[in-house]
Protein backbone atom coordinates (compact mmCIF):
# COMPACT_ATOMS: atom_id res chain seq x y z
CA UNK A 1 0.00 0.00 0.00
CA UNK A 2 1.08 3.50 -0.52
CA UNK A 3 1.95 6.18 1.88
CA UNK A 4 -1.61 7.48 1.80
CA UNK A 5 -2.78 4.34 3.44
CA UNK A 6 0.14 4.42 5.80
CA UNK A 7 -0.88 7.85 6.88
CA UNK A 8 -4.41 6.68 6.95
CA UNK A 9 -3.71 3.84 9.33
CA UNK A 10 -1.89 6.07 11.70
CA UNK A 11 -4.59 8.66 11.46
CA UNK A 12 -7.23 6.02 12.02
CA UNK A 13 -5.64 4.56 15.11
CA UNK A 14 -4.97 8.03 16.46
CA UNK A 15 -8.52 9.03 15.81
CA UNK A 16 -9.87 5.92 17.45
CA UNK A 17 -7.70 6.51 20.50
CA UNK A 18 -8.87 10.10 20.68
CA UNK A 19 -12.49 9.06 20.32
CA UNK A 20 -12.00 6.44 22.99
CA UNK A 21 -10.40 8.92 25.35
CA UNK A 22 -13.12 11.39 24.62
CA UNK A 23 -15.71 8.79 25.45
CA UNK A 24 -14.00 7.87 28.67
CA UNK A 25 -13.94 11.48 29.72
CA UNK A 26 -17.50 12.35 28.88
CA UNK A 27 -19.70 9.29 29.27
CA UNK A 28 -21.34 8.64 32.59
CA UNK A 29 -22.81 5.25 31.97
CA UNK A 30 -20.40 2.57 33.04
CA UNK A 31 -21.19 0.42 30.04
CA UNK A 32 -20.53 3.27 27.69
CA UNK A 33 -17.26 3.75 29.47
CA UNK A 34 -16.44 0.11 28.81
CA UNK A 35 -17.27 0.63 25.17
CA UNK A 36 -15.09 3.73 24.98
CA UNK A 37 -12.23 1.81 26.55
CA UNK A 38 -12.66 -0.93 24.00
CA UNK A 39 -12.60 1.57 21.15
CA UNK A 40 -9.32 2.93 22.42
CA UNK A 41 -7.99 -0.56 22.95
CA UNK A 42 -8.83 -1.38 19.37
CA UNK A 43 -6.67 1.52 18.32
CA UNK A 44 -3.72 -0.17 19.99
CA UNK A 45 -4.57 -3.51 18.44
CA UNK A 46 -4.86 -1.89 15.04
CA UNK A 47 -1.42 -0.39 15.53
CA UNK A 48 0.11 -3.75 16.34
CA UNK A 49 -1.46 -5.38 13.30
CA UNK A 50 -0.55 -2.55 11.01
CA UNK A 51 3.07 -2.48 12.15
CA UNK A 52 3.19 -6.24 11.87
CA UNK A 53 1.91 -6.06 8.34
CA UNK A 54 4.77 -3.85 7.32
CA UNK A 55 7.44 -5.82 9.13
CA UNK A 56 8.58 -9.27 8.35
CA UNK A 57 9.78 -12.42 9.96
CA UNK A 58 9.72 -12.96 13.68
CA UNK A 59 9.19 -9.30 14.38
CA UNK A 60 6.00 -9.29 12.37
CA UNK A 61 4.78 -12.50 13.86
CA UNK A 62 5.40 -11.07 17.28
CA UNK A 63 3.16 -8.15 16.46
CA UNK A 64 0.34 -10.38 15.41
CA UNK A 65 0.86 -12.56 18.44
CA UNK A 66 0.62 -9.51 20.62
CA UNK A 67 -2.59 -8.54 18.90
CA UNK A 68 -4.02 -11.96 19.65
CA UNK A 69 -3.08 -11.76 23.29
CA UNK A 70 -4.36 -8.20 23.64
CA UNK A 71 -7.69 -9.09 22.09
CA UNK A 72 -8.02 -11.90 24.58
CA UNK A 73 -7.01 -9.65 27.41
CA UNK A 74 -9.46 -6.94 26.38
CA UNK A 75 -12.32 -9.37 26.44
CA UNK A 76 -11.33 -10.54 29.89
CA UNK A 77 -11.13 -7.00 31.08
CA UNK A 78 -14.63 -6.34 29.86
CA UNK A 79 -15.83 -9.32 31.85
CA UNK A 80 -14.26 -7.97 34.99
CA UNK A 81 -15.76 -4.59 34.26
CA UNK A 82 -19.18 -6.13 33.89
CA UNK A 83 -18.76 -7.92 37.19
CA UNK A 84 -18.07 -4.63 38.88
CA UNK A 85 -20.95 -2.99 37.03
CA UNK A 86 -23.38 -5.57 38.21
CA UNK A 87 -22.23 -5.43 41.80
CA UNK A 88 -22.32 -1.64 41.72
CA UNK A 89 -25.77 -1.66 40.23
CA UNK A 90 -26.94 -4.00 42.91
CA UNK A 91 -25.61 -1.88 45.75
CA UNK A 92 -26.16 1.59 44.41
CA UNK A 93 -28.99 1.01 42.03
CA UNK A 94 -27.24 2.88 39.29
CA UNK A 95 -24.37 2.49 36.93
CA UNK A 96 -23.96 6.17 36.41
CA UNK A 97 -20.45 6.90 37.55
CA UNK A 98 -21.40 10.50 38.28
CA UNK A 99 -23.58 9.19 41.07
CA UNK A 100 -20.74 7.28 42.70
CA UNK A 101 -18.90 10.10 44.40
CA UNK A 102 -18.99 9.01 47.99
CA UNK A 103 -15.22 9.05 48.16
CA UNK A 104 -13.83 12.47 47.52
CA UNK A 105 -11.63 15.33 48.66
What does the DSSP assignment read for 40-79? Answer: HHHHHHHHHHHHHHTS-HHHHHHHHHHHHHHHHHHHHHHH
Please, what is the Cα angle at 28 between 22 and 29, to 5 degrees? 110
Q: What is the smallest separation between the CB atom of 50 and other proteins, expressed in angstroms?
A: 6
Q: What is the smallest separation between the CB atom of 99 and other proteins, expressed in angstroms?
A: 9
Number of residues that bind other proteins (CB under 8 A): 101
Q: What is the smallest separation between the CB atom of 104 and other proteins, expressed in angstroms?
A: 3
C-beta separation of 10 from 36 below 8 A: no
User: Considering only residues 61-90, where is the footprint of other proteins by CB under 8 A?
Assistant: 61-90
User: Considering only residues 19-58, where is the footprint of other proteins by CB under 8 A?
Assistant: 19-56, 58
Amino acid sequence: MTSLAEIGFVALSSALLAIGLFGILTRRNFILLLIAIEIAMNAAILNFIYFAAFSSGTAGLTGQAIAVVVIGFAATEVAVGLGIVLALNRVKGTINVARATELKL
